[in-house]
Structure 1
Amino acid sequence: MKTEDLFREDATLLSCDATVTAHGEGGVLLDRTVCYPVGGGQAGDTGWLIAGEQRWRVTDTRKSKEHPAAIVHLIEGEALPPVGTAVRVEIDAARRMAHRRFHTATHLLCALLPYPVDGCSITEGYARLDFHTDEPFDKEAIQAGLDRLVAEAHPVGHRWISEDELDANPGLVRSMSVQPPRGLGRVRVLEVQGVDLQPCGGTHVSNTAEIGPVVVTKIEKKSAKTRRVVLGFAG
């Protein structure tokens, strides 16, 4: 059982037509979706399934444990759309855009702070990265760097490389806690042109200018070898 993940190629898609293929794991599985499932530190999408006058609230989206290539849409309440139902999938557009802006901003942080990443969280309200280092961080310098990279309007895009290419370039992997999925023969890499290149399956803006005003709200020393940077939106 497989769900076609339309968001991998186009993060701007906010809706699609789909068919309910199964029930399970607290929700429904679809043959295709625009909903990103929680993973890689990024929260899952929420939204609605719509069939005529009927609407079902999608409270979260997750990868299926029973079917690794499928995506589960958790539904509010006990009534689920029957298997075989044709539905319109619509995501919460504001939530998606917040995820796209924050996720791309974390890639800028990776460019400014060249240390391994050992923790990540991207939500609608904030983003954080934990860096494996004992070096002190300069909050004002990081903020200035983010402002510069956003203003420079670097194009953002993705491409696919083979697992052999990734093995030949192990330095592309910055994360200590999340490794790129194996066994598919290829790996998706996110490129902020001239700034950052690393494996990533999340949703992003198409240009750093779209990130808009983002602020370093906090820098924390979480342990002897961990420094945390938290981002929020200005205003």
Structure 2
Amino acid sequence: MTAQLFQQDPYLREAPATVTGLTFEGGIVLDQTVFYATGGGQPGDSGVLRWGSQSIGIASAVKGDDGAIVLIPAEPARLPAVGTPVVQTLDWERRHRHMRMHTALHLLSVVIPLPVTGGAIMADRGRLDFMMPEPPNNKDALEDRLNMLIDRDMPVTEKWISEAELDANPGLVKTLSVKPPRGSGRVRLVQIGTSDAVIDIQPCGGTHVARTGEIGAIRIGKIENKGKQNRRVSLVFDA
């Protein structure tokens, strides 16, 4: 099982680790990692792995068996042997843009309070699919409200609840297509706002900025028809 350093500190850009396994396909498993593994609509992180005088580019990270996170090399190369101490370094600019967009999408689900049927996060844009038979009447008003929430510079924090507590509060789950991971006995919640003024709270395993002001200005892009009951709402960074 790989210790997920990105959950303890999403701003950690570099960390030591030890190689604990190599997959048949050429992936690398570490005892702990700063690399987020693809999931929940958020791409896996990229970066570099170094040991001694050698290095290898990491294109992405994915979930493996038994809680392992597998780093995927960018190209075929000699891999560090099991037991090798390494230093892992994130492509921080890409990760930080994922964090900003992921948090912005949480706020979009506040501005459009409808069930979410899908979503995706990229470094330059993101989108949520909503159960929305008719398009919104005023896209500009939605964009203004979204940026107003961002400008309030609210804290983004996490807490953990038991699976039983989540079952007792099913309204916490906004996404119909992605269910919170279960089996460990507890579920991570991401909260936007203060304890006495919660703007949003929902189960999420992704990485987020510490305050909404860090997101920066956002524009609502296309609103597309994706079926009889679904609309896709896209976000792009304004700069």
- Give your verdict on TM over 0.5: yes
Match of 1:45 in 2: 45
Task: Find the counterpart in structure 2 of residue 100 from structure 1.
Answer: 99
Equivalence for 1:153: 153
Q: CA deviation at 1:54?
A: 0.9
Deviation, structure 1 residue 188:
0.3
Distance 1:147 1:170 in 2: 28
Q: CA deviation at 1:148?
A: 0.2
Secondary structure of the 1:79 match is coil
1:133-148 → structure 2 map (5 Å cutoff): 133-137=132-136, 138-148=138-148
Aligned to 2:221: 217
Matched with 2:231 is: 227
The structural deviation recorded for 1:16 is: 0.8
SS at 2:108 equivalent: helix
The DSSP-based 3-state class of the residue aligned with 1:167 is helix
Distance in 2, Cα, partners of 1:225 & 1:92: 38
Match in the other structure for 1:197: 201
| Correspondence for 1:69 | 67
Give 1:135 deviation, angstroms. Answer: 3.0
Secondary structure of the 2:12 match is coil
SS in 2 for 1:159: strand
Which secondary structure does the structure 1 equivalent of 2:206 belong to? coil
Distance in 1, Cα, partners of 2:19 & 2:127: 35
Q: Return the TM-score normalized by structure 2.
A: 0.95
| 1:141 Cα deviation after fit | 1.4
Equivalent in the alignment of 2:30: 30
Moved more, 201-210 or 137-146: 137-146
Aligned-pair identity in percent equals 48
Distance 1:129 1:36, change over 3 A: same
RMSD: 0.9
In structure 2, C-alpha distance between the alignment counterparts of 1:69 and 1:229, rounded to whole Å: 33
Poorly superposed stretches of 4+, deviation over 4 Å: none
What does residue 14 of structure 2 align with? 15
Could you say which residue in structure 1 is the equivalent of 2:3? 4
Residue deviations 1:132-175 (CA, integer Å, cap 9, x gap): 12132231111101110011111101111100110010000001
What is the alpha-carbon distance in structure 2 between the residues aligned to residue 118 and residue 68 of structure 1? 28
Gaps (5+ residues) in structure 1? none
Q: Could you tell me how far 1:9 is from its partner in structure 2?
A: 1.9
Q: 3-state DSSP class of the match of 1:195?
A: strand
How far 1:93 moved relative to its partner?
Answer: 0.4
Instruction: Tell me how far 1:38 sits from its aligned partner.
Output: 0.4
- What's 1:87 paired with? 86
Displacement of 1:78: 3.3
Aligned to 1:117: 116
Q: TM-score, normalised by structure 1?
A: 0.96
SS in 1 for 2:19: strand
Deviation at 1:26, TM superposition (A): 3.0
